[in-house]
Structure 1
């Protein structure tokens, strides 16, 4: 699969832009704030119906305008696929495949898999467990359309259970029957989510270990592990044991919404003891493992978007990374960097041809 071209209208800092891509390595160069990352985000939009950075669609519209549009032509399984997205202020987003609008956006997820690597990913390390659960859910959702349905069902029941707990606290009336019904619904969806996440992590962790070892020449010991209360205790027992605590706190304290990923380096928490370079290597290994997992489970190669990844990586890691992603295991790649000469030098060393674009104040051209 590869993206042949893209057209933007009033997307972020782009007024009107149209560009065709190489099916291998495409590099956008320019100063910070010029619009390089916005181009990657537009590609992400076409693949996953949303921005990588900002969940509010209306905020992607260029200042002073009322609508943005993104359109792209993909070659997927040797067929041309035209994908378009349009957002008007205060109106529902329109998303079309071959000029036909989707009944629900979830039907698009996974058809055009993509992996984004960005400085923003440091949130996976520095922020709370919700960010890490989102990472797991994003990868699985691109390979399992039913998983998203289970997540939606679970979160709906969880919200209802929490509302009931608040109502019980407020009225002092304990509705054991309704609580039991909600518990059964929560257990049903929660068990399925846990089983899928566990199977995913069993396949994902070896891929992560392989890429981290490659990037660091086996010089560092890291560990990625999946932490879940359901690893130790069946979900129904967890809910029974925590019912009094839940009533006091007025929220559900056990379940897959508490799942977590542990990032460990040399036996210690990556967040506290990893250097910036080590953290970046860890994140890149996570994303490359995501890429490998998607490629294996989809049967074709996703798009790979690498935003400003040369920063905080030493030259040897940069060269190893580019050497790896530019060869046969990977498909079409989009990269941003501030230095055109640095890009030319890196790819000259590894003898890989690249297509270069210069971006300046929302205008893009071939370099």
Structure 2
């Protein structure tokens, strides 16, 4: 998947900009707060129809404006053109269109434009509670399996009703009905999460080995009560506890993705560099799985790549993502000299953009890449518009 051009209007601190991107590595450089991450987030919006950050759609509107618009023109690996437009206004809400046609449900867009992001916000996967890791799994799997997203949404609805019943007037008959529904949707969710965790484990371990120079061993596994017994049995065993606490205390909404280094919890025993290396390895493993499942290379977004990583690991990462198994990449950094030095050393081709106070100018990248970039920027594709799943609270 290749994003040829992105147009932004009133998106965060960007008043109006249009970028023609190259199919390889695109570098966004500038001071902190200049707007580099905002460009990355706009690309993510066009894939998932929501911000990659913990913020509302309204917070993505430029100060003083009433709406924002992001439009992307894409070329798939099979040569098909796509155009996606995402708009949000304070009065009209969010609209996502493909080929000028609005989606009835935003969730129908998830997976059309695959993207994988590595950003400082990923630290929440290590430092925060288990719901962050469940949210990560949900977003990952939803790009590949639309029925999974439907199961998550239905599970959430039943869980809310069951909790409401527990708080008001618990009725054994209704609890039994809700238990059957939770089990139906929950077992589907559990099976897919467990499958993808098992696929992530060897790939993440191998990428980490490459990044670290084979210095440490990492592992991950999916922790769930359903690993050992059926969901209905789990709910029956927790019934009295649920009645006392007035909410559902067991289920897949309590599951976790356990991350370890050298056999110990990553959160407690991993250095900041080791933790970030693990997160990058995890996202590269996700990238490989999405590419294999979709037959389409996702867009790889690397935000604030150099923070907490030593030069050796950064160079190893750049060499990795410069291989043919990766497609289009967007990288942000506040130090253009450092970034160019590493990219030139890696020997790949790239385009460079300078971001300043929400304004974006194309700089001097690798000359061969600039030629390809200019040629690609002249292509036009049929107008299309697409929509992505909104971030409902997920189990």
SS class of match (2:31): coil
Offset of residue 152 of structure 1 = 0.5
Tell me the TM-score normalized by structure 2: 0.90
Residue 194 of structure 1 aligns with which residue? 190
In the alignment, structure 1 residue 359 sits paired with structure 2 residue 355: yes
Provide, for residues 206-246 of structure 1, a one-character-per-residue CA deviation record: whole Å limited to 9, x for no partner.
11111111111221122211100001121111111110000
- Aligned partners of 2:287, 2:55: CA distance in 1, in Å? 23
1:184 corresponds in structure 2 to: 180
- Which residue number corresponds to residue 311 of structure 1? 307
1:53 aligns with 2:53: yes
- Look up the SS of the partner of 2:238 in the other structure: helix
Does 349-358 or 87-96 show the bigger shift?
A: 87-96
- C-alpha distance in structure 2 between counterparts of 1:110 and 1:104, whole Å: 14
Q: Distance in 2 between matches of 1:200 and 1:313?
A: 27
CA distance in 2, matches of 1:199, 1:266: 23
Deviations 1:1-45 (A, max 9, x none): 100001111000000101100000000000000000000001011
Does the 8 Å contact 2:85/2:98 carry over to 1? yes
Deviation of residue 61 (structure 1)? 0.5
Shift of 1:91: 2.5
| Unmatched tracts of structure 1, length 5 or more | 169-173
In the other structure, the counterpart of 1:230 is 226
By how many angstroms is 1:95 displaced? 0.5
Q: Post-superposition shift, 1:90?
A: 3.6
SS of residue matched to 2:352: strand
Once the two structures are TM-superposed, the CA of residue 248 in structure 1 deviates from its matched residue by 0.3
Correspondence for 1:160: 161
Q: CA deviation at 1:180?
A: 0.6
Rounded Cα–Cα distance in structure 2 between residues aligned with 1:340 and 1:98: 37
Using the TM superposition, give the Cα deviation of residue 55 of structure 1 relative to its aligned residue in structure 2, in angstroms: 4.1
* TM-score normalised according to structure 1 size: 0.97
- The residue aligned with 2:380 is none
In 1, distance between residues paired with 2:219 and 2:158? 33
- Paired position in structure 2 for 1:131: 132
1:32 aligned partner: 32
- Match of 2:168, SS state, is helix
Q: SS of the counterpart of 1:218? A: coil
- Work out the CA distance in 1 between the residues paired with 2:229 and 2:325: 40
Provide the C-alpha distance between the structure 1 equivalents of 2:218 and 2:88, rounded to a whole number of angstroms.
43
Contact 2:60 2:68 in 1 (8 A): yes
Question: How far, CA to CA, are the matches of 2:324 and 2:263 in structure 1?
Answer: 34
Residue in structure 2 matching 1:287, options 283, 288, 293: 283
User: Residue deviations 1:159-186, cap 9 Å, x none?
Assistant: 1111111113xxxxx4111111111111
| 8 A Cα contact 2:198 2:221, kept in partner | no
Residue 72 of structure 1 aligns to a residue in which SS?
Answer: strand
Counterpart residue number, 2:105 = 104
Task: Compare relative contact order (CA 8 Å, sep 6+) and give the higher one, 1 or 2.
Answer: 2
Counterparts of 1:351 and 1:15, CA distance in 2:
35
Secondary structure at 1:93 match in 2: strand
The 8 Å contact of residues 208 and 289 in structure 1, kept in 2 or not, is answered as yes
Partner of 2:308, secondary structure, is coil
Give the gaps of 5 or more residues in structure 2: 364-395
DSSP-derived class of the 1:300 partner:
coil
**Contact 1:319/1:346 (<8 A) preserved:** yes
Alignment pair present for 1:4 and 2:4? yes
Residue 89 of structure 2 corresponds to residue 91 of structure 1: no
CA contact (8 A) 2:118 2:301 kept: yes
Match of 1:299 in 2: 295
SS in 2 for 1:81: strand
Alpha-carbon distance between aligned partners in 1 of 2:220 and 2:188, rounded to the nearest angstrom: 22
